[in-house]
């Protein structure tokens, strides 16, 4: 019974990640896309723990989740420093009129 | 049984908060408001779901496999790590977006970031700016 509930919770978490992909695709600025990727990365670390509980092998999957959470944090900080006044935030057509110092 | 019910409650509330964060990320009109929904809802739902998972691992605990206590500690450490790092990365991304000059949504006639900068430079050029309040910067 608990296993069925956790499978349903994992599927619900996976389905709720799908609208965030909409923000990754059509996000007007680059930092919108980074925020959405950050949310999906955090939820992937949570989903790995749920997979570990379902497979009754949490001792292995929790290390994956820990490494994934750390890499997600480092990646988002690096992207924030990279996009800070080095790249135009508005992509393609709006980049011409945006003044980037 | 009590721990199972508590775990189900934590998991359901975590999924509810993540649903709120997803609706906010998709529907909000502005970079800053989307950032608000993503930062808060994502962090709280992550902590709730990791709490549910830690309770579930603790429920199947027996002294023959006592090293699963370390697994509980690691799951709580993931929750604490995300509680520390998610607001930090949200703050860094928000600062990057603000420095790049992303305009917040304002009512028509209100002054955004660009107009605020313009008013500040005009005040500097005029020299004396007595009696003029500058909104946004205190």
Per DSSP, the three-state class of A90 is strand
Which of B7, B15, B78 is the closest to A66 by Cβ? Answer: B78
Q: For position A89, what pLDDT does the model report?
A: 59
Q: Give B19: exposed, middle or buried? Use CB within 10 Å, 0-12, 13-18, 19+.
A: middle
pLDDT digits (tens, 9 = 90+) for A25-34: 987 888 889 9
Q: How confident is the model at residue A98 (pLDDT cuts 50, 70, 90)?
A: very low
For range A40-65, the mean pLDDT: 91
For residue A93, the 8-state DSSP code is G
Q: How confident is the model at residue A87 (pLDDT cuts 50, 70, 90)?
A: low
For range A71-75, the mean pLDDT: 91
- Angle B6-A67-B38 (CA atoms, 0-180°, nearest 5)? 60
Q: Give B25: exposed, middle or buried? Use CB within 10 Å, 0-12, 13-18, 19+.
A: buried
Q: For position B16, what pLDDT does the model report?
A: 94
Structural domain spans, chain A: 2-89
Please, what is the average pLDDT of chain A?
84
Note whether B92 contacts A63, CB cutoff 8 Å: no
CA distance A94 to chain B (A): 12
Determine the residue of chain A that is closest to B11 in CA distance. A9
Instruction: Say how many C-beta atoms besides its own lie within 10 A of residue B63's C-beta.
Output: 6
User: Which runs of consecutive H residues, i.e. helices, occur in B1-138?
Assistant: 2-27, 31-59, 68-99, 113-126
Is the Cβ–Cβ distance between A66 and B81 less than 8 Å?
yes
Q: Per the structure block, which two tokens stand in for A13?
A: 């978490």
Residue of B2, B4, B21, B25 to mutate, interface with A, max A Cβ within 10 Å: B25
- If you search the block for the tokens 């609208």, which residue do you land on? A19
Q: Rounded distance, CA B54 to CA B74, Å?
A: 9
B77 touches chain A (CB under 8 A): yes
Q: For position A96, what pLDDT does the model report?
A: 45
Give, for all 138 residues of chain B, the pLDDT tens digit. 888 899 999 999 999 999 999 999 999 888 889 999 999 999 999 999 999 999 988 888 788 778 888 889 999 999 999 999 999 999 998 888 888 777 777 777 666 655 555 544 444 444 444 444 555 554
User: Which runs of consecutive H residues, i.e. helices, occur in chain A?
Assistant: 2-26, 30-54, 58-83
Q: At what angle do helices B2-27 and B31-59 cross, to 10 degrees?
A: 160
Note whether B82 contacts A69, CB cutoff 8 Å: yes
Is the Cβ–Cβ distance between B3 and B55 less than 8 Å?
yes
Per DSSP, the three-state class of A29 is strand
pTM for this entry? 0.79
- Angle A71-B82-A55 (CA atoms, 0-180°, nearest 5)? 80
């Amino acid at each position: 019974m608990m296993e069925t509930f956790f499978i349903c919770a994992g599927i619900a978490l996976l389905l709720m990640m799908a609208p965030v992909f909409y923000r990754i695709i059509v996000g007007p600025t680059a930092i919108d896309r980074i925020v959405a990727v950050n949310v999906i990365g955090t939820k992937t670390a949570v989903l790995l723990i749920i997979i570990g509980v379902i497979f009754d092998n949490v001792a292995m999957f929790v290390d994956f989740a820990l490494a994934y959470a750390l890499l997600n944090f480092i990646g988002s900080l690096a992207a924030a420093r990279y996009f800070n006044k080095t790249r135009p935030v508005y992509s393609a057509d709006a980049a011409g009129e945006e003044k980037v110092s | 049984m009590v721990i199972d019910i508590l775990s189900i409650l934590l998991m359901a509330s975590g999924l509810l908060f993540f649903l709120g964060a997803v609706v906010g990320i998709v529907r909000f009109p502005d970079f800053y408001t989307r950032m608000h929904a993503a930062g808060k809802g994502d962090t709280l739902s992550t902590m709730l779901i990791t709490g549910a998972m830690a309770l579930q691992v603790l429920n199947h605990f027996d002294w023959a496999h006592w090293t699963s206590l370390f697994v509980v500690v690691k799951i709580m450490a993931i929750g604490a790590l995300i509680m520390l790092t998610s607001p930090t990365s949200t703050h860094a991304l928000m600062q990057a977006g603000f420095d790049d000059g992303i305009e917040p949504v304002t009512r028509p006639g209100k002054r955004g970031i660009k107009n605020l900068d313009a008013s500040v430079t005009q005040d500097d050029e005029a020299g004396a700016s007595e009696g003029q309040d500058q909104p946004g910067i205190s």
